[in-house]
Amino acid sequence: MAPLVTKRPYRLFEIDDQEFTPANIRFLVQELLTAFWTARVPLIQRTSPASLAASVILHTLSTYPSDSSEPEIMIVDFASGAGGPTPTIERIVNTERRKRGQKEIVFTLSDIKPHIEAWRRASKQSMFLDHISRSVDATNPPQEVTSGRYGERKRVFRLYCLAFHHFDDDMAKKVLESTLETSDGFAYVPFLCLTATVDNITNVTRIVELVSRQVSSFILMLLYIPTIFVVTIFWYPFSLEMLFYTYVIPIVPFIVVFDGFISALRTRTFGEVLTLVDRSWAVTRSERTNVAYAKEGWTFEAGEQLHSWPVGYMNWIVGTKGARRGDRH
């Protein structure tokens, strides 16, 4: 593993999160971040990050039987914002499931501050994209997104995009505790996080970060500076506002890169995530440093894969609830 820039995560502010950031600038920043999720940058990426996220979900779902007698799967995106990459991920996942002869899955957008109009527009593009109009708190989720609501006829997966590193330690502990208590699995890709509520089969947890506190992640953010100036004209040729705030007054590139550095400083290592799990879950590390176990059959593993050549690595944590499987790859 590459060396870390800091010994611990720092809870610094991101400009795009602040109330003083104008709404139009915030929108442009989110648009560009979504584009970096859903588009492939030539030469340095084999596929888009959204495709990698979709592969995480598809691999997770492959753990569960898909015949008609099994409970239906539902994916709920917590902290959806204005939608982010989730509509693209939904399309990729369901396209692949159709190719495999499997039933499509409904993705549901939600947030503590609902973006109803944006979600309605996105939902019109796919019959498998829905939204929850009322406020949804990830630390105390409503009954319809927990296992008790649907009983044995529904598996609820929780999905978090661009969210987990935004939580301070207290909130992250509550999110994890809520997940372990009300779900039978979860996965994060934050960029994406996914949680699963399932019955008596093997269950899965993943925490995936496209940035980290490793030196390589900060090098990647520096490389984003010229990349933004190259790709924006091709991605947004008819958006005068995006072009103006990229090339004339480069506020958007500055915020994207600045917030990227802060996001990297906010991310947690595998060990740091494990310390957030309450002691009552009795987490123990194995002799293999990338594996840990907890009560009720939870197994956690960590790893990474290249998403942007040469230094952009996607870090992930996988957790399965069921039999211990240290070599699940």
Inter-helix orientation angle 215-235/23-38, to 10° = 100
As given in the structure block, the two tokens for residue 43 are 């030469």
DSSP code for 273: H
Model confidence pLDDT, tens digit, residues 223-254: 889 999 999 999 999 999 999 999 999 999 99
Structural contact between residues 205 and 160, judged by C-beta atoms closer than 8 angstroms: no
pLDDT at 24 over 70: yes
pLDDT of residue 2: 53
Q: Is the dihedral of CA 124, 127, 129, 131 positive or negative?
A: positive
Q: What pLDDT is recorded for position 131?
A: 93
Residue 327 to residue 329: CA distance in whole angstroms: 6
Query: Per-residue DSSP letters for 205-223?
Result: EEEEES--SBHHHHHHHHH
Flag whether pLDDT at 99 surpasses 90.
Answer: yes
Q: pLDDT at position 253, please?
A: 96
Which band of pLDDT confidence, cut at 50, 70 and 90, is reported for residue 204? Answer: very low
Which one has a higher pLDDT value, 14 or 246?
A: 246
> Cα–Cα distance between 261 and 219 in angstroms, integer?
10
Per-residue model confidence (pLDDT) at position 252: 96
pTM: 0.80
CA distances from 172 to 78, 273, 283 (A): 13, 9, 16
pLDDT tens-place string over residues 274-294: 888 877 788 888 766 788 888
- % of the chain exceeding 70 in pLDDT: 77
pLDDT-derived band at 67, boundaries 50, 70, 90: low
What average pLDDT does this structure show over 16-31? 90
**Spatial separation of the C-alpha atoms in residues 321 and 44, rounded to whole Å:** 36
Share of the chain above pLDDT 90, in %: 26
Tens digit of each residue's pLDDT (9 = 90 or more) over 296-318: 777 777 777 777 887 777 777 76
| Segments in the chain forming alpha helices (H) | 23-38, 49-61, 86-99, 116-123, 147-150, 169-182, 215-235, 240-243, 251-266, 270-276
